[in-house]
């Protein structure tokens, strides 16, 4: 987007199929298109007022990635380790109330051999975990999938989790920290990939088995949004997820790769940063990876130290582990645009056309073909941005309102 598109009054466009699905409950029926009109935050007739100091997509994105947000969004987490069938693990960070004796509980529950946990995060005690899984409520569980190499500590995730905890009484909120992420030890040969949909499935099936009557709402940010889309496309009409949302999704990984390299912000700031966070997972888990993965040696580590973008990382590591000839073949196989036509879960997607990190050529024709999809397009906001004057994220408020309205209608 050029300088003529800079500003702070954000325009909203809503894309849906005209003949869309009907949402049904004991309260009646409503078309998904009519349901969308109930979401006051995405009214195309109104402007969204963003922070005027962050007047383009790059500044909006850099606010999210570079500002110090340590004094905001002080959500507290109780961590649980979830083990997959192949021996890999993720960590589930459940939102918990603040405790005055938090540090004492941190020390009492700390698992020997675990890395130091992020701020305001501790392990759940055995009693707390028993209490959690013995709940008989029928209120929703909101499951959050974080961004590339991110986790529950990410600013936008904390904003979303804090809002839900404050405004949605009785709901449970949990972040799935993928293999190797957010100080979760790697115990297999590879961290998460774009193909890690099975990891989401295993966790959600466990939830559904334990709480068969609780609706599961699934939300993904950035790379996490693409995992959500791929997962939903594979699930079809299984009914495992009741409603879903994705923010700043890279619909096409190849197109996104070219796009991020086309701007100064993308090429020289965002792309190297993303590569750094990916390589950090390898270096943080070097001891464990050497035991499970033949390709991890000093030569690989030397090469990883100097890469400047994610496709170099995927060429050197991901493709070697998962037998792809190159990164582009891997990206082509797992781009969400290949699966969104198969989605049969009500799915809200929010993307900005001044996003410097992912492709801004949105799959509008596909959205207008699949009656389960709702795409909200903004002309300002950057990548996981849409930052308002008070520093909160408008896209987080939209996701929260979407799930709240969904529950109000279907409960």
Give the dihedral sign, CA 201/207/212/213: negative
Host H or E run for residue 73: none
| Both tokens assigned to 400 | 């929260």
Nearest to 171 by CA among 10, 342, 16, 403: 403
Give the dihedral sign, CA 355/359/365/369: negative
The residues annotated with a catalytic role in the active site are 222, 355, 383
| Euclidean distance between CA atoms 231 and 227, whole angstroms | 6
Q: In what order do the strands lie in the sheet with 347-352?
A: 12-15, 373-378, 347-352, 243-247, 216-221, 141-145, 172-177, 89-96, 76-83, 121-123
Residue 180 gets which letter from DSSP?
Answer: T
| Euclidean distance between CA atoms 174 and 95, whole angstroms | 6
Query: What pairing do the DSSP bridges indicate for beta strands 243-247 and 216-221?
Result: parallel
Q: How many CB atoms lie within 10 A of CB 119?
A: 11
Host H or E run for residue 224: helix 223-235
| Euclidean distance between CA atoms 201 and 168, whole angstroms | 25
């Amino acid at each position: 987007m050029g300088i003529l598109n800079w500003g702070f009054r954000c325009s909203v466009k809503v894309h849906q199929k005209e003949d869309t699905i009907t949402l049904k409950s004991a309260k009646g029926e409503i078309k998904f298109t009519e349901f969308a009109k109930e979401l006051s935050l995405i009214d195309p007739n109104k402007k969204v007022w963003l922070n005027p100091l962050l007047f383009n997509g790059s500044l909006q994105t850099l606010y999210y990635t570079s500002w110090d947000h340590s004094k905001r969004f002080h959500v507290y987490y109780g961590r649980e380790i979830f083990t997959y069938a192949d021996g890999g693990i993720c960590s589930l960070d459940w939102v918990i109330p603040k405790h005055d004796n938090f540090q004492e509980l941190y020390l009492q529950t700390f698992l020997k051999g675990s890395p130091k946990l992020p701020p305001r995060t501790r392990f759940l005690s055995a009693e707390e975990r028993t209490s959690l899984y013995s709940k008989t409520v029928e209120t929703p569980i909101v499951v959050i999938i974080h961004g590339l190499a991110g986790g529950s500590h990410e600013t936008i995730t904390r904003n979303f989790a804090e809002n839900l905890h404050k405004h949605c009484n009785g709901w449970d909120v949990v972040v799935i920290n993928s293999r190797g992420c957010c100080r979760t030890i790697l115990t297999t040969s590879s961290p998460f990939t774009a193909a890690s949909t099975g990891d989401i499935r295993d966790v959600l099936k466990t939830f559904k088995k334990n709480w068969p009557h609780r609706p599961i709402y699934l939300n993904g940010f950035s790379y996490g949004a693409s995992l959500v889309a791929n997962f939903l496309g594979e699930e079809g009409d299984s009914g495992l997820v009741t409603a879903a949302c994705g923010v700043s999704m890279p619909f096409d990984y190849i197109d996104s790769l070219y796009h991020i390299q086309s701007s100064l912000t993308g090429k020289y700031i965002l792309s190297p940063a993303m590569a750094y966070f990916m390589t950090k997972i390898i270096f943080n888990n070097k001891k464990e990876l050497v035991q499970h993965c033949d390709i991890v040696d000093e030569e690989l580590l030397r090469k990883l130290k100097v890469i400047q973008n994610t496709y170099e990382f995927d060429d050197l590591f991901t493709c070697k582990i998962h037998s792809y000839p190159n990164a582009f073949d891997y990206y082509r196989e797992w781009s969400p645009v290949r699966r969104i036509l198969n989605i049969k879960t009500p799915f809200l997607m929010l993307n900005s056309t001044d996003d410097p990190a992912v492709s801004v050529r949105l799959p509008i024709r596909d959205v207008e073909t699949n009656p389960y999809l709702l795409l909200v397009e903004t002309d300002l906001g950057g990548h996981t941005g849409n930052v308002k004057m008070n520093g909160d994220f408008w896209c987080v408020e939209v996701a929260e309102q979407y799930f709240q309205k969904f529950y109000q209608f279907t409960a």
